[in-house]
Structure 1
Amino acid sequence: MASKKMYSVVAVVGIVGASTLAWWLQMPKSDAGAPTGARAVGVEITQVKKQTLRDDAEAVGSLRSSQNVMLRPEVAGRVLSLGFADGARVRAGQVLVQMDDTLQRAEVQQSLAQMSIARANHKRNQELVAQNFIAQRSLDESAAALQVADAQLGLSCARLDRMRLIAPFNGVVGIRSVNVGDYVKDGADLINLENIGSLYVDYRLPERYQIKVAPGQTIEVKLDAFSGRLFKAKVEAVDPLIDANGRSIGVRAVLANTAGEPVAAAGGKSQGQGAAAPAPAKSSVSETSAPNNRGVALPSPQSLGCPTNTFDRTRTSAGGDQHGPLRPGMFARVTAVFAVKPNALVVPEEAIVPQGGKQFVIKAVPPSDLPVPAASSASAAASAPALPPDTKLVSQRVEVRLGMRRGGQVEITEGLAEGDTIVVAGQQRLQKDGSPLRVVELGRGPANPASAAASGASGATGTDASVSANSASAAASAASR
C-alpha cells in the first residue's frame, strides 16, 4: 500500500518538473547586455499597384435575327410554283410561293369587264344630261355603278394578290416544308425568312444593374461556336419591365454579322493566332436570281389591269451582308462593360481587414515613419517593449475606402498611395501599431538570415521542450504502473 502511494507521489513530482522545464525552455532569452525586445511577426507583403479596372457584368444570352418571319398563306389552295431554293438569299418583293390563282384571275377579268361597261354607261349619261335628254338622277346612278365596279375590281385584285407569298425584306430563307402540288390550308407554315445581316443579342442582368445599363454601351460577346474570337455589340434597348420571377431586366444589343476579332491573351498575343477566321457562308442561289424558278411564271396582277396596291407588303431593309458566319439561336457569353478606370489603385482582397463596420489595411513602414506619440502617451510609449535591433519594418493600421472588386483585386479609392507596402498574410497577429515585422516569402522562408536563425533556434528550443515533457510523462506513467 505504501509503495503505491510512493509511486503516485513520484509521478506527480515528475509531471510538475517536466512542465516547469518546458516553460523555462520556451521563455525568450536575450544575449548578455542586449535589451529584451518584442518578437518579430512573420508576414507576407506586397505593394499597391495601378492597373486598369473595368466595371462589368457577365451574362448569357442568345442570338436572334434582326428581322424574321414565318410565311403562311392567307387562303387555302394548291402550290403552283416555288421561287426560291433552300437556304438561298432573297430580296424584298421576290415571289417565294405562288398558289393556284385560276379562279381569282377569272374574277379579275370579270371585274374588268364590268368596270368597262360601267365607265361607258357613265360617259354616255354625261353626254345625254348635257343635251337634256335624261334626268340628273340617271347620271348619279351611273356614277354610283361605276364606283361599285371599281370597288369590285379592287376586291378581286386583292384576292388575286393574296395567292402570292412575297418576301417582305431582304434575307435568307430556311428549309421549306412544302412542294409544288401540295394543298395547303390557310395559316400553314411554309417557309421562314431570316435577316442575318445584323443580329440581336438578347440577355438578362440582375435588377441591381438597371441604373448602369443604357443604350449605346458596348458589350463583348463570345460564342462557343467560334472559340478564340471576340465580337463587339452595342446596347439598343432595355426592357422597362423587371421579371418578377428572376428579378432581372432584359437587354437587347445589335451585333454585326462579321468574323469578329481574335481574343487578346495576357501576353499580348491573340489566342486565335494561327487559326483562320470563320469563313462566311455562301448561298447556293444568288440574290438576283429570277423568281418562280420552279414552276410556271405568271404575270403580276398589275399586268392584268389591277391598280397598284396602296398597302405595299414589301419594305427594303438595310440588312447588310447576308453571307456572315453568325446564325440565330447561337449561345452567347456576354460581358457588359459599364465603365473603365485606367489608373485604379488595387490591392489583393486578402489584405483587407474588416473591423467595426470599417475597412483597414496594415501598412509595413520603417519605424521612423510611425507618428510621434503625444505627451500624454509618452509614458505608455516608454513602457512599451523595445524593438529588436535589426527591425526594418513595423505595422501601421490604415483605414481605407473600397471601390470595385475584380479578379481577386480590390480598388482603393482613399487611404493608400501607389507603391505603399502592405501586409497580405499574418494580419491576425498584429494587434497594435508598431509591431516589428519579419518578411516571409511564400515557399522561401524568412527573407532576413538573422530572423531565420532566430526562428530556427526558437523552433529547436520548442522541440527540446516538448521532447523533455514527453519523456517526463512517459517516466511518470511507468512509475505509476
Structure 2
Amino acid sequence: MATKKMYSVVAVVGIVAASALAWWLQNPKTIAAPTPSGPRPAGVEISQVKKQTLRDDAEAVGTLRSSQNVMLRPEVAGRVLSLGFADGARVRAGQVLVQMDDTLQRAEVQQSLAQMSIARANHKRNQELVAQNFIAQRSLDESAAALQVADAQLGLSCARLERMRLIAPFNGVVGIRSVNLGDYVKDGTDLINLENIGSLYVDYRLPERYQVKVKPGQPIEVKLDAFPGRLFKATIEAVDPLIDVNGRSIGVRAVLANTAGEPVVAAGAKAAGAAASASAPAPAPAPAPAPKPASPVKPAAAAPSAQKPEPVGRGAALPSPQSLGCPPNTFDRTRTSAGGEQSGPLRPGMFARVTAVFTVKPNALVVPEEAIVPQGGKQFVIKAISPSELPAPAASASSNAASAPVVPPDTKFVSQRVEVKLGMRRGGQVEITDGLAEGDTIVVAGQQRLQKDGSPLRVVEIGRGAANAAASGASAAASGAVSAAATGAAPAGPVLSPASAASR
C-alpha cells in the first residue's frame, strides 16, 4: 500500500519536473534575456496631407423642358381646309399652320366693308351740306356715329376671320399632327404642338437646406441617360421662392443649350485640349474647299421639301385678312421671330442627372476620413513626427514627465495629437481648415493604441506586415526540419516550436 502511494508521488513529481523543463526550453529568452527598457513601438499606417481641388456640390434628378412650348387649339369649331406644315418640320413665327374653312367669315368682312363705304360716303356728303347750311348739325353727328358703328362692325368681322387661322407664335419645331384635311374639329381640340428647342430648361428640386447656397448664375453639370459618356453644362436661371411642404424641397430651373455636350473623360483635360487646338492653327486652310456652290444649293433646294406644306383646295391661295381691307392685327405687330433656330440632339422630357456646383476650392488640404479621431466634442489628428520635433515637457509638470513613454534610441517616428478644424467631406476625404500643413505625416490606422504623445511608432505597409511574418516563419520552420532530418537531431526537437527552434 505504501509502495503504491510512493509510485503516485514519484509520478506527480516527474510530471511537474518534465513540464517545468519543457517550459524552460520553450521560453529561454524570458529567463535569460533582460526586459527592454522602453515600450514596444505600435504598428501604424501613415499618409501625407495633400492639396486637392474640392467642390461643394449636390446631386439631384430633373427633367428637360422646352424654353417655349404651346399646344395649338382652335377657338371656334370648323372644318380643316389646309395644313401649312409637315410633321416634325421647323416653322417660323407668323406662319399659318392650320387654315379653317372661313367662307362665312370672309363674306361677313365683305359685307362690313360695303357698309363702311356707305357710311363714309354719307358722312362726307353731310359735311358738305352742313358747310352750305342745307342740313342741321344733328344729321352730321348721326352720320359720324354711323361711320363709327360701321368701323366697329368691320373690326369684329376681321377678328372672326383671324380666328379661323392657327398661326405659329414663335420659331420652333412642330410635332406629329393629330388632324387631317377635311376633319371637323370642335373648339379646344388639340391639333399640333409647337416646341422651341434651341435652348431647354432643366427643372429639378433640392432639399431645403440648400436654399442659402443656390443662386441664379451658378453652373451645374447635367448627365443624360440617353447620352452616356457625355457631359452638359447649364446655368441656374431662377429659384422658386415657394418650398414644397410635402417634400420640403425647392424648385430650381437652369438653362441648357441644345448641343452635343463634351466627353466625360475629356472634362478634366479640357484646358490641355484647348491649348493644343490653339497652338495648332495650321488646319485653317482646310475650310477653303468647303464653300463649294453645290453644297449650299442643296440645303436651299431641300429646305422647301423638308418643310413642304400640304395645301388642299384653295388653302395655299387664300388671301390674308389684311389684303381684304382688315386693319393690321396687334398680334402680328408684336410677334418676334428670334430664337428657335438651333436644333440639337436634346429633346424635352429627357431624364437628367444634375450636379449643382456651389463652390470650388482648388487648394484645399485634405486627409483620409480614417485619420480623424473624435474626442470630447473635438476633432483630432495624430501626427507622426521625429523624436527631436516632440516638444519638451514643462519643468513644473514632473508627474507628466515621469509618465511620458520612453522612446527607444532607434525610433524614427513618435505620435503627437493635434486638434484640427474640418471643412467639407467628399469621396472619403476631409478638408482640414486649421491645424495641419501640406506634407505633414499623419496616422490613418492604429490610433487606438496611441494614448499619449511621444509613443514610438512602427510604420506598417498595407498588406505586407502579417504576410511577410508568416512567410518568414514558415520558411524558418521548413529549413529547421530539413536540417534536423539530415543530421539526425535528438528526440527533444519535437518539444520546441518552430519559432523557438529558429531562435535557438
TM tier relative to shorter chain: 0.7 to 0.9
Name 2:65's counterpart in structure 1.
64
456 and 286 in structure 1: CA distance in 2 versus 1, 3 angstrom threshold? farther
Q: How many residues align?
A: 441
5 Å matches for 1:57-456?
57-264=58-265, 268=269, 293-295=311-313, 296-297=315-316, 298-312=318-332, 315-445=335-465
Does structure 2 conserve the Cα–Cα contact (< 8 Å) formed by 1:157 and 1:301?
A: yes
Equivalent AA in structure 2 for residue 410 of structure 1:
V
Tell me, in whole angstroms, the C-alpha distance in 2 between the residues paired with 1:252 and 1:150.
Answer: 47
Give secondary structure in 1 for the equivalent of 2:144. Answer: helix
Tell me, in whole angstroms, the C-alpha distance in 2 between the residues paired with 1:387 and 1:83.
Answer: 92
155 and 204 in structure 1: CA distance in 2 versus 1, 3 angstrom threshold? same
Does structure 2 conserve the Cα–Cα contact (< 8 Å) formed by 1:172 and 1:322?
A: no
Q: Deviations over 1:210-238 (max 9, x none)?
A: 11111111111111111111111111101
317 and 433 in structure 1: CA distance in 2 versus 1, 3 angstrom threshold? farther
309 and 317 in structure 1: CA distance in 2 versus 1, 3 angstrom threshold? closer
Give secondary structure in 2 for the equivalent of 1:342. Answer: strand
Tell me, in whole angstroms, the C-alpha distance in 2 between the residues paired with 1:158 and 1:30.
Answer: 116
Equivalent AA in structure 2 for residue 358 of structure 1:
K
Give secondary structure in 2 for the equivalent of 1:226. Answer: coil
140 and 384 in structure 1: CA distance in 2 versus 1, 3 angstrom threshold? closer
Tell me, in whole angstroms, the C-alpha distance in 1 between the residues paired with 2:28 and 2:176.
Answer: 87
Does structure 1 conserve the Cα–Cα contact (< 8 Å) formed by 2:404 and 2:452?
A: no
Tell me, in whole angstroms, the C-alpha distance in 1 between the residues paired with 2:112 and 2:29.
Answer: 117
Tell me, in whole angstroms, the C-alpha distance in 2 between the residues paired with 1:118 and 1:235.
Answer: 59
Q: Deviations over 1:456-477 (max 9, x none)?
A: 79xx9xxxxxxx9xxxxxxxxx
Tell me, in whole angstroms, the C-alpha distance in 2 between the residues paired with 1:319 and 1:30.
Answer: 93
TM-score (normalizing by structure 2): 0.79
Tell me, in whole angstroms, the C-alpha distance in 2 between the residues paired with 1:30 and 1:101.
Answer: 118
Deviation at 1:289, TM superposition (A): 5.1
Q: Deviations over 1:377-430 (max 9, x none)?
A: 235424544223321111111000001111111100000000000011111121
Tell me, in whole angstroms, the C-alpha distance in 1 between the residues paired with 2:223 and 2:68.
Answer: 22
Q: Deviations over 1:16-59 (max 9, x none)?
A: x999x99xx99995985674211211111100000111111111
Tell me, in whole angstroms, the C-alpha distance in 2 between the residues paired with 1:189 and 1:164.
Answer: 14
Does structure 1 conserve the Cα–Cα contact (< 8 Å) formed by 2:112 and 2:150?
A: yes
Give secondary structure in 1 for the equivalent of 2:147. Answer: helix
Tell me, in whole angstroms, the C-alpha distance in 2 between the residues paired with 1:27 and 1:129.
Answer: 145
Deviation at 1:371, TM superposition (A): 1.1
384 and 217 in structure 1: CA distance in 2 versus 1, 3 angstrom threshold? closer
Give secondary structure in 1 for the equivalent of 2:349. Answer: coil
Tell me, in whole angstroms, the C-alpha distance in 2 between the residues paired with 1:44 and 1:74.
Answer: 77
Give secondary structure in 1 for the equivalent of 2:158. Answer: helix
Equivalent AA in structure 1 for residue 454 of structure 2:
G
Equivalent AA in structure 2 for residue 36 of structure 1:
S
Give secondary structure in 1 for the equivalent of 2:129. Answer: helix
Does structure 1 conserve the Cα–Cα contact (< 8 Å) formed by 2:404 and 2:454?
A: no
Tell me, in whole angstroms, the C-alpha distance in 2 between the residues paired with 1:220 and 1:95.
Answer: 39
Tell me, in whole angstroms, the C-alpha distance in 1 between the residues paired with 2:29 and 2:228.
Answer: 61
Give secondary structure in 2 for the equivalent of 1:376. Answer: coil
Query: Between the two proteins, what is the percent identity of the paired residues?
Result: 83
Does structure 1 conserve the Cα–Cα contact (< 8 Å) formed by 2:60 and 2:204?
A: yes
Give secondary structure in 1 for the equivalent of 2:246. Answer: coil
Tell me, in whole angstroms, the C-alpha distance in 1 between the residues paired with 2:346 and 2:84.
Answer: 25
Does structure 1 conserve the Cα–Cα contact (< 8 Å) formed by 2:172 and 2:340?
A: no
Equivalent AA in structure 2 for residue 416 of structure 1:
L
Give secondary structure in 2 for the equivalent of 1:156. Answer: helix
Tell me, in whole angstroms, the C-alpha distance in 1 between the residues paired with 2:371 and 2:263.
Answer: 35
265 and 369 in structure 1: CA distance in 2 versus 1, 3 angstrom threshold? farther
Equivalent AA in structure 2 for residue 170 of structure 1:
N
Equivalent AA in structure 1 for residue 438 of structure 2:
E
28 and 379 in structure 1: CA distance in 2 versus 1, 3 angstrom threshold? farther
RMSD after superposition: 3.7
94 and 320 in structure 1: CA distance in 2 versus 1, 3 angstrom threshold? closer
Q: Deviations over 1:278-299 (max 9, x none)?
A: xxxx998659957664552211
TM-score (normalizing by structure 1): 0.83
Unaligned stretches of 5+ in structure 1? Answer: 271-281, 461-467, 469-481
